Amino acid sequence: MTSVRPVRHPVDEVPPAGRLAALGLQHVLAMYAGAVAVPLIVGGAMKLSPTDLAYLINADLLLCGIATVLQCVGLWRFGVRLPIMQGCTFAAVTPMVLIGTEGGGLPAIYGSVIVSGLAMMLLAPVFGRLLRFFPPLVTGTVILVIGLSLLPVAGNWAAGGQGAPDFGEPKNLGLAGAVLALVIVVQRFGPGFLGRVAVLVGIVGGTALSVPLGFTDFSGVSDAGWVGVSTPFHFGAPTFEAAAVVSMLIVALVTMTETTGDFIAVGEMTDRPVDGPRLADGLRADGAATVLGGVFNTFPYTAFAQNVGLVGMTRVRSRWVVAAAGGLLVVLGLAPKLGAVVAAIPAPVLGGAGLVMFGTVAASGLRTLATVEFRDNHNLMVVAVSVGIGLLPVGVPGVYQEFPDWFQTVMNSGISAGCVTAIVLNLLFNHLPGGRTPDRDPAPATGSAQAADPAPAAGSAPVAGSAPVAVDASVLEGGSGQHAVEQTGEQRV
């Protein structure tokens, strides 16, 4: 009598070792520039020495890897167990720079980071019960804003990197265009597995092309050490100052709001819907990683949007692939010389690949919104205003500079601004009683007793949008290559 092996969900599948390593490396290369940007910005603003700056970067990579493994693999009630890559949130950059330069240095930063991480763990179940406020109308809008807000990051990379002396020169855009073309060709014509690592092929090919053209600088490799171990409280015992703690608590709420949208979107993309307990587990892991960040000399953690787009583009849904990427980050954090090799990849190369990945995120948001009913309701207004407010700080970065710091922390992140706006407007138009109902087209004059308000077609999203996300599995299983979506926090480099 033969036994039938249970079918394993694609999220739980473990690819062969070779493919696992290649796919994991692709995720690392896609997020590396964003991962090291936060310690570079904060350390640069505080005028740290090159040695201390290198220490911050190594600690960040180590904790990025640990946080990613915890989120993907899970431990008890910690971890969403989806393909989610973790990195430092950019929402915390401005508050941390202010704390570090005016309010107590790195010890005050790490004290506020530890408190915010503990708060995230305590608030995780509360956010889990708010899942019903993220219907397809809200999640689709948030995913669209995420993708659109990330495109300027890719544009800056393609032009040479913000602040580069040759920013915008044709040679930079030409290299980015070559990488973009290579990714498209491999995605379209590459056989089987090669098409799934199109971004990796593009980054490796672009880096190889950039060497004879003089784009790369490997001088940092010889200066980096072979081994670097981060120790707790390297910069001194943490201090807890009220103003610093309050500002980081606001950052924690912003990060949790962004990450909630990310988890829901990735759950939709992978055909493993995120329910309340799973959402709480993921946010709890974010909080735990943030506490560890404060202990091991780094910063708050959140999901990375770049890698969500990569999951959608490659259609590889295995969480073990991203867990393998986390393992590679741990190695890079412990071996600074290897990290220096990865850091030598030119910004235009990342820009060419980023255009594909971030565009995929935006396209995924449009796909989700395609399931929403827009006739005879106010849903179009919800999307229009939310996208407008979400992209305002992206298009005009200094628009809120005269507002209080707490307001800037929330609204300078296009993702959190768009998410909060979408939630509020959805409640206003689709849940609160007493609103005006849009005029409906008159029903066609027929002899039958036809209902004036026909039932929506099967598979369409409810108009009110009060139910949790539900997606037709047949859509997700299709091979269109458009499955994607995240949030991580708005990644600006």
Let me know: does 146 contact 488? Beta carbons within 8 Å: yes
Among 44-53, 201-210, 394-403, where is mean pLDDT lowest? 44-53
Query: Which range has highest mean pLDDT (108-112, 358-362, 427-431)?
Result: 108-112
Give the pLDDT score at 293: 93
The residue that leads in pLDDT, 178 or 32, is 178
Can you give the pLDDT at residue 416?
A: 78
For residue 120, is pLDDT > 60?
Answer: yes
Q: What tokens appear for 225 in the block?
A: 């050490």
pLDDT at 263 over 70: yes
Mean pLDDT, range 51-64, rounded to an integer: 87
pLDDT of 253 over the 90 cut:
no
Band (pLDDT 50/70/90 cuts) for residue 330 is: very high
| Three-state secondary structure call for residue 193 | helix
Strand partners, 88: 301
> What's the rounded mean pLDDT across residues 332-347?
79
- Cα–Cα distance, 309 to 143 (Å, whole number): 10
Q: Where residue 439 falls among pLDDT bands split at 50, 70, 90?
A: low
Least trusted range by pLDDT, from 6-20, 102-116, 255-269, 311-325: 255-269
pLDDT of 446 higher than 50: no
Could you tell me which residue, 71 or 43, shows the higher pLDDT? 71
pLDDT greater at residue 338 or residue 167 = 167
pLDDT bracket for residue 134 (50, 70, 90) = confident
Tell which wins on pLDDT, 175 or 98: 175
Q: Tell me, what's the pLDDT at 285?
A: 95
Residue 73 — pLDDT band, cuts 50, 70, 90? Answer: very high
Average pLDDT over residues 157-173: 86
For residue 281, CA distances in Å to 72, 181, 213, 395, 488 come to 11, 40, 47, 34, 17
Angle at CA of residue 68, ends 355 and 271, nearest 5°:
70
The distance from CA 480 to its chain's CA centroid, rounded to whole angstroms, is 22
Share of the chain above pLDDT 90, in %: 27
Average pLDDT over residues 381-385: 95
Q: What distance in Å separates the CA atoms of residue 399 and residue 403, rounded to the nearest whole number?
A: 9
Report the range of poorest mean pLDDT among 20-24, 187-191, 277-281, 377-381: 187-191
> Residue 303: beta bridge partners?
86
pLDDT value, residue 2: 55
Q: Using the predicted structure, report yes or no on whether residue 459 has a pLDDT greater than 90.
A: no
Least confident of 14-18, 223-227, 269-273, 395-399: 223-227
If one counts every other C-beta atom within 10 angstroms of the C-beta of residue 214, the result is: 9
pLDDT at 5: 60
Q: Position of tokens 């980054």?
A: 203
- Among 70-84, 322-336, 360-374, 384-398, which is the least confidently predicted range? 360-374
Look up residue 78 and give its DSSP letter: B
Q: Which residue has the higher pLDDT, 52 or 473?
A: 52
Taking all residues of the chain, what is their mean pLDDT, rounded to a whole number?
A: 80
Percent of the chain at pLDDT above 70? 85
Between 271 and 413, the higher pLDDT residue: 271
- For CA atoms 32, 34, 38, 40, the dihedral sign is positive
Q: Helix H segments across 77-225?
A: 93-102, 105-128, 136-158, 170-189, 193-196, 198-213, 219-223
| 304-332 core/surface letters (b: 16 or more CB in 10 A; e: else) | bbbbbbbbbbbbbbbbbbbbbbbbbbbeb
Using the predicted structure, report yes or no on whether residue 53 has a pLDDT greater than 50.
yes
> What pLDDT is attached to residue 456?
42
> What would the pLDDT profile of 270-296 be if each residue is shown by its tens digit?
888 888 899 999 999 999 999 999 999
> Residue 436 — pLDDT band, cuts 50, 70, 90?
low
Grade residue 189 by pLDDT with cuts at 50, 70 and 90: confident
| pLDDT of 492 higher than 70 | no
Q: d(Cα 273, Cα 11) in Å, to the nearest integer?
A: 11
pTM confidence score:
0.72
Is a pLDDT exceeding 70 seen at residue 435?
Answer: no
In residues, how long is the chain? 493
Extract the tokens encoding 235.
Answer: 């910069």
Question: Averaged over 225-242, what is the pLDDT?
Answer: 86
